[in-house]
Structure 1
């Protein structure tokens, strides 16, 4: 194998970390093959003590073929045979191999299957449907229906599953949304009610189209506040269009300015309380989804790609003997 001086330098540098950065078609795979082969033939490293991780299964297969071929070219027949079972794979292939070797220690079915993306998607969709059915059948039905109507079932499924996957990608085996903190309620409601009365008095008998519209909004705002119980917080949509601009002289006084400020503070509080209520419901729905998704995988003795990574991480982190054996093998 003819290598350029730069490629040969990368091959020869085997006593520590090396980063090879080059464009497509510049011989990076050839360098990897030669580093692998020379580590075995010149440095005395066992074939099964070299770990090579690729991005795709196709790349892993090609690398294995080329390593085996290079050994054969150099007359190293035993090493060429051993290359068939070398540790050359994707990260998920590596994790799967570790878990199959230590399935009992990992607490999983020794005959587990790796779910491909299509099958995992089917399991996830079924899990969401079952979670949603249970979610709707239990308590506070109006609130739950409102949440679904606001997002639609499909968008809600995408949103929740994306959040679930994101949390798993951060290393959480059983993701859940954090416990939400209910926004404190200060004097926003009292301030808005007082400002409504003050603004109406300030407008008084003033006339004009804009003044009439503002007066109607003030009256509707006062009525909406009066319909609330002491513990209620309004829906943001009920108040969103009840403010007005100072487009007429009668609407530019200090009482109208105070109403606009009080309305903004109340609207913000309503939005925060609605977000909190939605968060509580989504937390419940995600918990149900996670349980059904895990159950669906168990029924199939299946693991998805995240499971492979997370279970391997926990196995190596929690079992010192197994961790030490792999550290020694690939040192």
Structure 2
């Protein structure tokens, strides 16, 4: 009796187990699961890609702003060493007489390569710098002969004209499609001690800073242009990815603002007109005329970058906030007591 009963029981259990083994998911169930899993994975992948894109864009903007800040700090540190800063009107020229009584057209006496609509001069000033080692060696070997030849052995320094300007040229497409800031330095000596062509030494006696390069000619004893030939271009790029958009009235991103009072914007509007250049104001300066009233001259610099062309950046309106710094120039040349 027990044997047939146990046989039936174990037979049912075995059949039930075999049925469970034979059962599974249908094709529709598998497709539904695949679609759901695919949707979840696609959403997660889209989120990851977007997060990576946002991180890349922010990194590009941050790098652009960091480079603009470094360029601003470099220009400010040089400007603190200035002994004379030109007014913004001096690039286009403020004096109509010949010889000029004040502010000749400074562009005419810079390298010829800078005088076109791809180069917009913004800031120009004179500062002192040490003479190179070969000149020091000449002074040490025979100071009398060196001084008679015009070497500044006594001061061991000479004046250098520093010009910062906006450059839009891009030969061979090695730079960004934006603009950039370039630095030009007209020094008295090259690194090997030879004199630089086109340099006229300002001395506040025969050649004054405000009318450079005009001075008393030793041959005619009249005020003339003492620059025999224009200097060659030895400019270097200070920073790339400068915003190159043209200023638009009412556009907060391109609006130029100078403090109320005795400030002049540099470059003046007349400089854009004479060069035939677009009115780009992503780099400009506000120069205080306080030197005429005995105050130290203050210069306010403004720089705005544009990250277009960097990884993850699309579109032209990817400018970064405008940077501003104020520099108090302690030079006493040209100041009234």
TM interval, shorter chain, is under 0.3
Name which one, 1 or 2, has greater alpha-carbon Rg: 2
Return the structure number with greater relative CO, CA threshold 8 A, min gap 6: 1
More strand by share: 2
Q: TM-score, normalised by structure 1?
A: 0.23
Q: TM-score, normalised by structure 2?
A: 0.23
More helix by share: 1
